[in-house]
């Protein structure tokens, strides 16, 4: 199961409201590339795909495609703020190693 932190739910809700995207969900996916073999991606989408897993946290929907789901199973989508900036981060227990930026990983 993939989850979202309270802060991530709050930020996704804020973005959806500010961009007039009521009813949209957050697609979280994994694609090939990056310095460690896989990289994370996110995008707002109006509707899930036919084969997507749909997870809802406090009214926010996550859409995860069938190929990405096994690589993200057990992960948490978080929103972090620190001295280097702010943004969404994925805490993935399936990642054996990751790069310094946190957007690329290997299994």
**Domain spans of the chain?**
3-106
Superfamily of domain 3-106: HesB-like domain (2.60.300.12)
What is the spatial distance between Cα 95 and Cα 51, in angstroms, rounded to a whole number? Answer: 24
More reliable by pLDDT, 98 or 64? 64
Tokens of 22: 């009521």
Would you say the pTM of this structure is higher than 0.85? no
pLDDT tens-digit profile of 1-50? Answer: 899 999 999 999 999 999 999 999 999 999 876 665 788 899 999 999 99
């Amino acid at each position: 199961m993939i989850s979202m932190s309270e802060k991530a739910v709050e930020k996704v809700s804020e973005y959806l409201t500010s961009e007039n995207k009521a009813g949209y969900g957050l697609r979280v996916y994994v694609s090939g590339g990056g310095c460690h073999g896989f990289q994370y991606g996110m995008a707002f989408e109006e509707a899930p795909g036919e084969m997507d897993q749909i997870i809802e946290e406090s009214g926010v929907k996550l859409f995860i495609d069938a190929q990405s789901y096994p690589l993200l199973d057990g992960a948490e989508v978080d929103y972090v703020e620190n001295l280097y900036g702010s943004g969404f981060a994925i805490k993935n227990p399936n990642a054996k190693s990751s790069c310094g930026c946190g957007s690329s990983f290997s299994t």
